[in-house]
Amino acid sequence: MNFKISKELQIGLLVIITLAVTFFGVNYLKGINIFNPTNYYYLKLDRINGLVETNDVTIRGYKVGLVKEIIYDYDNPASDVLVVLQVDDDLKIPVGSKAALVSALVGSPSIELHLNASCDQIYKRGDTIDSYIDEGVFNSITEEIMPRIQTIIPQLDSLIVSLNMIAQNRTIESSLANINSITKNLNHASVGINKIVDKDVPLLCSNINGVMGNLSVVSSNLKAVDFKTTISQLNRTLIGVQGVTDKLNNGSGTLGLLLTNRELYDNLNTTVGSANELLVDLKAHPKRYINVSVFGRKNE
């Protein structure tokens, strides 16, 4: 007996398989494992800060579930937003545990469970867990950085106005032109300095080398001089001069007597005065001292 499948049945099976693959695929992309039994819990939040379905539910960074559904009551806008959590069936949440909505600086927010390890009672499936919003980095930005930004904004406004005025000022163009000309002059000066370095500096270095050579020769000559003998001779000369000076001071010798004997000085002074008077009288009356006879006759 041959069993033949009709085309309608084949098409129906194909549609069912397609729907099943689509269902499993969509849930897999959402991170939902339909073969893993799960529990459902509820949270009530006054705001969700961008939380969406399929966001992670974690405990100390480890993923234990996801956000299954977010429900907003349009008929009662003042009511809290209801968040449905889907977590692993093996996870037991003690009574008194809390769920925190954590806002990330980069990426989507998540739900962080903080378990109460001191309680033995366990939340039942479908219970509502106490929750709060952990602002984290955004709270510090709002409370600390934003006031500073608000004080900086007026200053930025005035700065932008000043920059606009400067940009519209035509003197900037002339200043830039002057800077350009100064740069060109510096380039020309740099070329001149390079020429000096290439030509004059080697010549100067050669002259310095010659001077250093001469200094070396002078140093060698000075090294050859017998300074010890020269200083010894100089000491002997100074000793002799010191002896002559002592003799003069003590009145020894002719010069010493002239320098120290007052009576000899007075006699010499008197003699010089008499000689001077004699010369004056000789000039005035030469015949008194010179007697000349032409014919041999004696003149009285």
Indicate whether 300 belongs to any domain.
no
pLDDT in tens, 171-213: 777 777 788 888 888 888 888 788 777 777 777 777 787 788 7
Specify whether 189 is located in the same domain as 232: no
Going by pLDDT thresholds of 50, 70 and 90, the confidence category of residue 132 is: very high
pLDDT in tens, 13-54: 888 888 877 866 766 665 555 555 578 999 999 999 889 988
Higher pLDDT, 111 or 289: 111
Specify whether 184 is located in the same domain as 217: yes
Domain tally, the chain: 4
- The bridge status of strand 98-102 relative to strand 130-134 is parallel
Indicate whether 251 belongs to any domain.
yes
Residue 129, helix vs strand vs coil: coil
Cβ neighbours for 138, distance < 8 A, ≥ 6 positions apart: 103, 105
Specify whether 20 is located in the same domain as 89: no
Is the pLDDT reported for residue 111 higher than 50?
Answer: yes
> What is the residue-averaged pLDDT of the chain?
79
Residue among 76, 69, 12 at smallest CA distance from 38: 69
Specify whether 89 is located in the same domain as 69: yes
Indicate whether 71 belongs to any domain.
yes
Q: How far apart are CA 289 and CA 279, in angstroms?
A: 11
Going by pLDDT thresholds of 50, 70 and 90, the confidence category of residue 101 is: very high
The whole domain housing 259 covers: 227-268
Is the pLDDT reported for residue 300 higher than 50?
Answer: no
Q: How far apart are CA 33 and CA 26, in angstroms?
A: 10
Is the pLDDT reported for residue 240 higher than 50?
Answer: yes
Q: How far apart are CA 26 and CA 34, in angstroms?
A: 11
Indicate whether 89 belongs to any domain.
yes
Tell if the pTM clears 0.85, that is, is over it. no
Specify whether 58 is located in the same domain as 96: yes
Top mean pLDDT of 128-137, 166-175, 238-247 is at 128-137
Indicate whether 139 belongs to any domain.
no
Is the pLDDT reported for residue 137 higher than 80?
Answer: no
Indicate whether 203 belongs to any domain.
yes
Indicate whether 276 belongs to any domain.
no
Indicate whether 257 belongs to any domain.
yes
Run of H or E residues at 153: helix 146-168
Specify whether 25 is located in the same domain as 60: no
- What phi and psi, each to the nearest 5 degrees, are found at residue 206? -65, -40
